[in-house]
Amino acid sequence: MSLRVLLIDDHTLFRVGLEGLLSSRGIEVVGAVENGQESLRLVDELKPDVVLLDMRMPGIDGLGVLRMLRQARDELPIVMLTTSSEESDLIESLRAGAQGYLLKDMEPDALVVALRDIVAGKTVVAPDLAPVLAKAVQGKSMEDTKPPVTSPFGELTPRETEILALLAEGQSNKSIARNLGISDGTVKLHVKAILRKLGVHSRVEAAVMAVEQGLPKTVIAN
């Protein structure tokens, strides 16, 4: 299946090089631009399957573009592609709704696999960042507030808790439906209820919250 990618990165040589690498592997780069100023218009106009977004950019940085796109296009897969291995950048990106956090020194074939997994509904983090993510989940290096007195999952039904655990594993709605023997529509209704009860806006935010509370970890790319 051919993927349509919108690339937003302020480094011209990197954009050109990545476009060539992806094109040679059957992925269509429908747009490659240096900033996110017109990202909403480009998403509407070009209709990409996934957005690849740099973290460090002049003007509106990657997190700013991510939040803007996520607010307007909740279902569009957005992937941070960056040189930053900082824990704060990784966690903030996932919390803001990124469906992937990948590093620019990844092997091209690994990047392609990650993109296909992300478009299929998984949340993917670069393998080199697995220890960083694990450390953050364990709370060893985050500036933390006191733990809540009650669990944020207390209002969830057993079925919703089960679905949230599968979301945290990176499973798509179709995969969850197949595993639980229910319809896609039923899964969607449960996911909406989960987001409302947890007070979050995207399934990625819910998955990150689940990971932080000890449910199955976010999928790590192979």
Please report whether residue 102 resides in a domain.
yes
- Residues 178, 83, single domain; the answer is no
Please report whether residue 86 resides in a domain.
yes
CATH number at residue 91: 3.40.50.2300
Integer Cα distance of 132 and 207 in angstroms: 17
- Residues in Cβ contact with 114 at an 8 Å cutoff, skipping those fewer than 6 apart: 79, 100, 102, 106, 124, 126, 221
Encode pLDDT of 126-159 as tens digits.
Answer: 888 877 777 766 654 444 444 444 566 778 888 8
Last residue of a domain, one of 74, 108, 137: 137
Integer Cα distance of 40 and 182 in angstroms: 35
Q: Work out how many domains the chain is built from and give that number.
A: 2
Integer Cα distance of 219 and 98 in angstroms: 13
| Residue-number span of the structural domain to which 52 is assigned | 3-137
Please report whether residue 147 resides in a domain.
no
Encode pLDDT of 16-30 as tens digits.
Answer: 999 999 999 999 999
- Residues 132, 208, single domain; the answer is no
pLDDT tier at 38 (50, 70, 90 boundaries)? Answer: confident
- Residues 103, 193, single domain; the answer is no
Integer Cα distance of 141 and 115 in angstroms: 29
Please report whether residue 113 resides in a domain.
yes
Mean pLDDT, the chain, whole residue set: 83
Last residue of a domain, one of 137, 171, 197: 137
Encode pLDDT of 101-122 as tens digits.
Answer: 999 888 889 999 999 999 988 8
Please report whether residue 143 resides in a domain.
no
Residue with tokens 């900033």: 35
- Residues 44, 95, single domain; the answer is yes
Please report whether residue 176 resides in a domain.
yes
Please report whether residue 218 resides in a domain.
no
Segments in the chain forming alpha helices (H): 12-23, 39-46, 62-72, 87-95, 108-119, 130-137, 158-168, 173-180, 184-198, 203-212
Burial class (CB in 10 A: 0-12, 13-18, 19+), 80: buried
DSSP annotation of 24 reads T
Please report whether residue 195 resides in a domain.
yes
CATH number at residue 208: 1.10.10.10
Integer Cα distance of 8 and 103 in angstroms: 14
- Residues 8, 88, single domain; the answer is yes
